[in-house]
Chain A
Amino acid sequence: MSLPSYASPGERLWYYGFRVICGLIFFFLIAPILIIIPLSFNAENFFTFTPGMLALEAEAYSLKHYRDFLTNDSWQQALWNSVKIAPLATLLSVAFGTLAAVGLSQPHVPFRRAIMAMLISPMIVPLIISAAGMYFFYSRIGLQGSYIGVVLAHAALGVPFVIITVTATLVGFDRSLTRASANLGAGPMRTFFKVQMPLILPGVVSGGLFAFITSFDEVVIVLFVGSAAQKTLPWQMFIGLREQISPTILAVATILVTISILLLTTVEMLRRRSEKMRGMSPG
């Protein structure tokens, strides 16, 4: 939609006006995330730019909030808990999810719609309802306030993402490849790991990344299902924001933004690779 040379002044005005509006909306989307990055280097315990920061004086900036994050016990404990919970939950959802996605993409699956609806449901049900149900049920069976309980709950939340990404990858999967492999004498396991798995790996990995970020970012479920011993990074941030708001949160937030940029790049690269492998886009 480039502007034709015969455009009237009104059209010109609208063309540029529209772009300015869109620019403002993009600004609205991205500015809040970017603004916390400079604020996290604030030398003072303020949440706003000090005059020194605006004048770009070197001493107005400092790493003290990062230092606090790295030395404070409760932040370190929270980080450690997140690191312990998320990978295990991801592993569970990827293992079960991939297997089920392979099953779901077979040509004849009885009750496919009902099964799909059940497997996707953790993504649809509002988190507060899942949290309430899990809190009631897990305290009945003694899992409330335990590491296993939180891991299982997070794995359930991650499952729909794995199912969706892996089944999407399997849509373009050429079934004759597995038949050829079976024809050449490979057993089902060998066929899966040597032929099918390498082709759907990008989908599995990006599903796993979604599951990981879901668990790593999740706070509602862990607030209810976990106890103080399972305090994760988002939980610590939530408490920090609700009770004593400390600028260390901004340092943590900046670190998390960096992580999400890395993840976004990875997923985008995987998507391109997957499309290339399945010949869906030229190069």
Chain B
Amino acid sequence: MSDAVHGPDQVTGATPDNVIRNADRAARSDDGPVLAADGRPLKQSLNRALRTQKLRALALIAPLLLFIIVTFIAPIADMLFRSVENEIVSETLPRTIVALEGWDGGGAPDEEVYRALAADLVVASELKNHTRVGSRLNYETTGISSLFRQTGRDVDEIGEIHADQFIELDPAWEEPATWVALMGDEGWIERQADWKDRKDAAEAEQEAAETRVERRALDFTEPEPRFRLSETAQQALPRTARIYAQFAQVIQAEESDSPTEEEPWNIVYQALYEDLSAGQGQGYEGRLSELVSEARDAVTGFEDQDIKTYFIEEIDEDWADPKIWGTIDAFSDRYTAGYFLSAIDMQLTPQGIEPQPEGQQIYGLLFQRTMFMSLTIMFSCILLGYPVAFLLSNLPLRTSNLLMILVLLPFWTSLLVRTSAWKVLLQEQGVINDILVWIGLVGDGNRLQLINNQTGTIIAMTHILLPFMILPLYSVMKTIPPQYVRAARSLGATPWTAFWRVYFPQSVPGIGAGCILVFILSIGYYITPELVGGTTGTFISNRIAYHISSSLNWGLAAALGSILLALVLVLYYLYDRIVGIDNVSLG
């Protein structure tokens, strides 16, 4: 029997009994914290369990959260960013913007600015960017787009006169090799030569392969090493070096050609002329030094070109207009409030922020109209939804469930089906007008114009959004105890007083929820107003869509969208305070 004394009390280790006993003992002795089964303090152990639980919950949520951030939150953030972003002007016209800093805003700017503009526009027109910056600035001042397009065609003639004179002086100036030697970094020149050798070798090999039966495509796909400016050129001929580097970059990237084989743009010669007239060009050695100093001596006798005059007289007289320059200057920052200002009918001018001219103030009106129509739709929804919800919540469950189908069927039916139904019904030759004529309410000659105006939008959208009013109202009214009204009646209230003083105040939360829901949904509506609203019944969202797909003014579309988004979020915050996110019910 002595073997059997190992009862449960003798088992050591982490059995539930022992844990409790240990905890008791620890608590009694008061020395040290309560321990868990594995000997750690209980508090720590619990914390760890809680942390594991939190991590597990987060791990389950993380995939979706990531998905929504990439597919939804990032696009919204991108839109917000686009509403202030304005890099195109400062990226395309960097020299002009620096040169314009000294401009006082009155009259045409100095020759210096025109020279900078010429250089910027030659690069831009080679990159085909000038039309983009033109249309960007055209949003602010009409006419700039065609001005830039026109200028882009003519601007490459600037500097032709300089190029001719340099080449006449020494034919070496025509040779791409001269320019490469003058501008290129020594390391780059070596690497380029090496690349060229290898390419030639590969081509020769392919040439040889052609005689065989199997011909292969040229498998030498390595691109030419990227052009690098030499230190000497940057110091000796700064203007020339800067524009030549851009030339080399364009030639390599856009045209897949080599600067060793292309004669530079005319504007490069013009820059060289300016550098040399300013007495620069020191620091070269050997043959290059001779070439440069010979040219430096000669430029004093060169015929120069007045670029300001050329711009104004040869290209377009608008280049003398301070308004054009003011616009370029005002939108030279990388970020701009310009789109938001346009969205509230203001504009950014060199003199500061001013309201748009009278005839162009359309957005304030559009916001007002959106508000007015959304409110009208909201009130029609209360007017039609309240009696129905009241009836539904006071009928026996069986009947009300049956009638509820009449509310839910439109809710579930495709939006386009409902919109097409209204389009068909409201037409001049449509069912409603036919009935009215048949009854004799209106003559056949003057059928009602019910569609393509505000009436059409309001009727169709009230129908579409009515279920969103009825459902929250119904769920609130369902909770109102009928005893209160009965008590009011038995205390002598008339049916109207009982309803107005007792029932109605209790249904107000439902009205609030329904109103905000309908209002939020209606101010962002696009499809229905687009189809039945014509020109007078459209919303702000239609204007956003127009700017994205037709006028391509994405920045303004983004600014209008951001304002609308802010409005919706405020309303949604209110909805959350009144109803709560978690109480959104789906029928």
The answer to whether B463 and A132 touch across the interface, beta carbons within 8 angstroms, is: no
A182 part of interface (Cβ distance < 8 Å): no
Bound CA span A123–B531, Å: 23
Q: How far is the CB of A61 from chain B (nearest CB, A)?
A: 16
A250's partner among B75, B424, B495 (CB-CB below 8 A) is B424
The answer to whether A100 and B64 touch across the interface, beta carbons within 8 angstroms, is: yes
C-beta contact mask, A152-176 vs B, less than 8 Å → 1, else 0? 1101100101001101000000000
The answer to whether B421 and A33 touch across the interface, beta carbons within 8 angstroms, is: yes
B339 part of interface (Cβ distance < 8 Å): no
A128 nearest CB neighbor, chain B only: B541
The answer to whether B564 and A126 touch across the interface, beta carbons within 8 angstroms, is: yes
The answer to whether B72 and A264 touch across the interface, beta carbons within 8 angstroms, is: no
A271 nearest CB neighbor, chain B only: B587
B82 nearest CB neighbor, chain A only: A136
The answer to whether B425 and A35 touch across the interface, beta carbons within 8 angstroms, is: yes
Which chain B positions have C-beta within 8 A of A124? 520, 568-569, 572
Q: In the complex where A104-B57, A159-B64, A245-B423 touch, is A1 in contact with B395 (Cβ < 8 A)?
A: yes
Which chain B positions have C-beta within 8 A of A250? 420, 424
Q: In the complex where A250-B424, A256-B417, A261-B409 touch, is A118 in contact with B78 (Cβ < 8 A)?
A: no
Q: In the complex where A18-B387, A22-B388, A234-B416 touch, is A103 in contact with B60 (Cβ < 8 A)?
A: yes
B520 nearest CB neighbor, chain A only: A124
Bound CA span A181–B249, Å: 68
Bound CA span A215–B39, Å: 55
A253's partner among B53, B406, B420, B565 (CB-CB below 8 A) is B420
Partner-binding segment picked from B87-95, B104-112, B129-137, B427-435: B427-435
B121 part of interface (Cβ distance < 8 Å): no
The answer to whether A96 and B564 touch across the interface, beta carbons within 8 angstroms, is: no
The answer to whether A26 and B409 touch across the interface, beta carbons within 8 angstroms, is: no
Q: In the complex where A48-B434, A108-B57, A136-B75 touch, is A241 in contact with B416 (Cβ < 8 A)?
A: yes
Which chain B positions have C-beta within 8 A of A134? 71-72, 75
A165 nearest CB neighbor, chain B only: B586
A160 nearest CB neighbor, chain B only: B584
C-beta contact mask, B526-538 vs A, less than 8 Å → 1, else 0? 1100110000000
Which chain B positions have C-beta within 8 A of A106? 53, 56-57, 60
B58 part of interface (Cβ distance < 8 Å): yes
B61's partner among A11, A103, A107 (CB-CB below 8 A) is A103
Q: In the complex where A22-B388, A130-B75 touch, is A47 in contact with B412 (Cβ < 8 A)?
A: no
Q: In the complex where A99-B64, A137-B74 touch, is A260 in contact with B413 (Cβ < 8 A)?
A: yes
Bound CA span A138–B69, Å: 13
Q: In the complex where A25-B387, A117-B581 touch, is A133 in contact with B78 (Cβ < 8 A)?
A: yes
The answer to whether A238 and B73 touch across the interface, beta carbons within 8 angstroms, is: no
B561 part of interface (Cβ distance < 8 Å): yes
B65's partner among A14, A29, A118, A256 (CB-CB below 8 A) is A118
Which chain A positions have C-beta within 8 A of B69? 118
A33's partner among B53, B56, B82, B418 (CB-CB below 8 A) is B418
The answer to whether B421 and A253 touch across the interface, beta carbons within 8 angstroms, is: yes
Q: How far is the CB of A5 from chain B (nearest CB, A)?
A: 16
A110's partner among B58, B406, B408 (CB-CB below 8 A) is B58
Bound CA span A117–B545, Å: 26
Which chain A positions have C-beta within 8 A of B405? 264
B74 nearest CB neighbor, chain A only: A137
Which chain A positions have C-beta within 8 A of B495? 11, 14
Which chain A positions have C-beta within 8 A of B229? none
Bound CA span A135–B407, Å: 34
Bound CA span A126–B517, Å: 12
A129 part of interface (Cβ distance < 8 Å): yes
Q: In the complex where A115-B65, A128-B541, A250-B424 touch, is A28 in contact with B384 (Cβ < 8 A)?
A: yes
C-beta contact mask, A252-283 vs B, less than 8 Å → 1, else 0? 01001100110110010000000000000000
Bound CA span A1–B587, Å: 24
B72 nearest CB neighbor, chain A only: A156
B278 part of interface (Cβ distance < 8 Å): no
Q: In the complex where A103-B57, A109-B57 touch, is A26 in contact with B403 (Cβ < 8 A)?
A: yes
Q: How far is the CB of A193 from chain B (nearest CB, A)?
A: 14
A97 part of interface (Cβ distance < 8 Å): yes
Interface residues of B in 551-587 (CB under 8 A from A): 554, 557-558, 561, 564-565, 568-569, 572, 581-582, 584, 586-587
Which chain B positions have C-beta within 8 A of A122? 68, 72
The answer to whether B79 and A238 touch across the interface, beta carbons within 8 angstroms, is: no
The answer to whether B73 and A263 touch across the interface, beta carbons within 8 angstroms, is: no
Bound CA span A130–B231, Å: 50
Which chain A positions have C-beta within 8 A of B328? none
The answer to whether B417 and A257 touch across the interface, beta carbons within 8 angstroms, is: yes
Q: How far is the CB of B340 from chain A (nearest CB, A)?
A: 15
Q: In the complex where A128-B545, A134-B75, A261-B409 touch, is A33 in contact with B417 (Cβ < 8 A)?
A: yes
B548 part of interface (Cβ distance < 8 Å): yes
Which chain B positions have C-beta within 8 A of A153? 71
B434 nearest CB neighbor, chain A only: A48
Bound CA span A84–B79, Å: 29
Which chain B positions have C-beta within 8 A of A237? 416-417, 420
The answer to whether B527 and A220 touch across the interface, beta carbons within 8 angstroms, is: yes
The answer to whether B427 and A47 touch across the interface, beta carbons within 8 angstroms, is: yes
Bound CA span A65–B53, Å: 58
Q: In the complex where A96-B67, A256-B413 touch, is A242 in contact with B530 (Cβ < 8 A)?
A: yes
Bound CA span A252–B430, Å: 19
Which chain A positions have C-beta within 8 A of B434? 48-49
Which has the most chain A C-beta neighbours within 10 Å: B59, B82, B394?
B82
The answer to whether B463 and A130 touch across the interface, beta carbons within 8 angstroms, is: no
Q: In the complex where A99-B63, A121-B73, A124-B572 touch, is A29 in contact with B50 (Cβ < 8 A)?
A: no
The answer to whether B75 and A137 touch across the interface, beta carbons within 8 angstroms, is: yes
The answer to whether B421 and A35 touch across the interface, beta carbons within 8 angstroms, is: yes
Bound CA span A1–B420, Å: 38
The answer to whether A256 and B545 touch across the interface, beta carbons within 8 angstroms, is: no
The answer to whether A224 and B548 touch across the interface, beta carbons within 8 angstroms, is: yes
Enumerate the 9 nearest inter-chain pairs by beta-carbon distance, A residue then B residue, closest first: A126-B524, A103-B60, A133-B75, A137-B75, A100-B64, A133-B79, A128-B541, A106-B57, A32-B421
- Seen from chain B, the residues whose Cβ lies within 8 Å of a Cβ on chain A are 50, 53-54, 56-61, 63-65, 67-69, 71-79, 82, 384, 387-388, 391, 394-395, 403, 405-410, 412-425, 427, 429-431, 434, 463, 466-467, 495, 520-521, 523-527, 530-531, 541, 544-545, 548-549, 554, 557-558, 561, 564-565, 568-569, 572, 581-582, 584, 586-587
18 contacts between A and B (CB under 8 A): A25-B384, A47-B424, A49-B431, A102-B60, A103-B56, A126-B520, A126-B568, A128-B524, A129-B568, A133-B72, A133-B79, A134-B71, A134-B72, A159-B64, A217-B414, A238-B531, A253-B417, A263-B412
Instruction: With A47-B427, A220-B526 given, name 13 new contacts (CB 8 A).
Output: A99-B61, A99-B64, A103-B56, A106-B57, A118-B65, A128-B541, A210-B586, A219-B416, A219-B527, A220-B527, A241-B419, A256-B413, A261-B409
